[in-house]
Amino acid sequence: MAERTYTTFEEFWPYYLREHSGRQTRAIHYAGTALVIAAAIALALTGNWWWLLAMPLAGYGFAWFAHFFVEKNRPATFTYPWWSLRSDFRMFFLAVSGRLEPHLRAAGVLPRG
């Protein structure tokens, strides 16, 4: 079956959440995203451009590990790189602010109730 093509971010967002349905997958993504943010802060504070190299290594390294070995699916970033990056940060900030659950429910990841 052919994979669906998404034409707007609003259509893509629920798909992204379904591709991150496992708590462990999301937790590994959060760790990678937190390291990306820490590397960005380190870059800003030190001016050491090596931190710029650490950012994609941490972000994609953790995320792809989660997809290949935990969720066992293909990373959405291979098809939708910018929307995936945007979604990763959106998911992270919604999670740390305690506002992700309604989005997961709307995407069919969590049971309604």
pLDDT in tens, 81-111: 999 999 999 999 999 999 999 999 999 998 8
pLDDT single digits (tens) 21-78: 999 999 999 999 999 999 999 999 999 999 999 999 999 999 999 999 999 999 999 9
Residue 3: predicted pLDDT: 73
Q: What are phi and psi of 111, to 5 degrees?
A: -65, 145
Cα 93 off chain centre by = 10
CB 81 within 8 A of CB 10: no
Spatial distance between the Cα atoms of 100 and 96, rounded to a whole number of angstroms: 8
Residue 2: predicted pLDDT: 54
